[in-house]
């Protein structure tokens, strides 16, 4: 794997559009396919792209896991790793592309899944290699070890668009 990148755009309706991109040889990775159902609560145990969302100064946050195989799940937390019930919401749109020597997962996350106001985002990925080993990628690993729930890892500030 040579590089991982994520582009994020706040849509006019308040939703988010994300494109996760893995550059390198996809055959060196274990990539879930749409024909294999994975345990939804363990999507993070496979190649998976993640999004953590909070608002500045607030303890609650959300975690989204997006599998290249088309599955997704949302977890809500009242504080650090303290799960609370997640209300249902519309499914995000996921689209996988595999151009030469890369993998791209486009995600369109409806506004109903997002808190109002300016957002603090943690953009992360779990990459499972063909040998079964895992690599954990994030904008920032503040505690030295991969801990995607660590609030200092929510390193991207996304402001509400001005109308």
For 11-31, write each residue's pLDDT tens digit: 988 899 999 999 988 788 888
Q: What pLDDT was estimated at residue 77?
A: 97
Q: In which band, very low, low, confident or very high, does the pLDDT at 1 lie, cut at 50, 70 and 90?
A: low
Distance separating alpha carbons of residues 95 and 140, to the nearest angstrom: 26
For 73-83, write each residue's pLDDT tens digit: 999 999 999 99
Distance separating alpha carbons of residues 153 and 122, to the nearest angstrom: 6
Distance separating alpha carbons of residues 55 and 57, to the nearest angstrom: 6
Q: What pLDDT was estimated at residue 39?
A: 84
Distance separating alpha carbons of residues 48 and 135, to the nearest angstrom: 11
Q: What pLDDT was estimated at residue 163?
A: 62
* Residues across the chain: 163
Q: Would you call 79 helix, strand, or coil by DSSP?
A: strand
Sequence-distant (≥ 6) Cβ neighbours of residue 41 within 8 angstroms: 73
Per DSSP, helices labelled H in the chain are none
For 77-135, write each residue's pLDDT tens digit: 999 999 999 988 899 999 999 888 899 999 999 999 999 889 999 999 999 999 999 99
| Domain 3-158, architecture per CATH | Sandwich (2.60)
Mean pLDDT of 33-51: 88
Kindly list the domain boundaries of the chain, sorted by start residue: 3-158
Q: Is the pLDDT of residue 7 over 90?
A: yes
Contact 21, 2 (CB under 8 A): no
On the CB side of 43, CA atoms within 13 Å amount to 23
Contact 107, 94 (CB under 8 A): yes
């Amino acid at each position: 794997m040579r590089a991982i990148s994520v582009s994020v755009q706040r849509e006019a309706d308040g939703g988010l559009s994300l494109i996760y991109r893995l550059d390198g040889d996809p055959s060196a990775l274990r990539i879930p396919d749409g024909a294999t159902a994975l345990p939804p609560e363990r999507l993070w145990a496979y190649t998976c792209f993640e999004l953590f969302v909070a608002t500045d100064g607030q303890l609650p946050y959300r975690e989204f896991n997006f599998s290249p195989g088309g599955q997704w799940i949302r977890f809500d937390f009242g504080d650090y790793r303290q799960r609370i019930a997640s209300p249902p919401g519309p499914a995000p749109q996921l689209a996988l592309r595999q151009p030469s020597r890369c993998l791209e997962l486009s995600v369109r996350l409806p506004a109903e899944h997002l808190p109002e106001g300016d957002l603090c985002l943690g953009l992360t990925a779990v990459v499972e290699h063909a040998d079964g080993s895992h690599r954990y990628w994030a904008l920032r690993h503040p505690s030295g070890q991969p801990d995607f729930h660590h609030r200092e890892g929510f390193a991207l500030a996304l402001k509400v668009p001005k109308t």
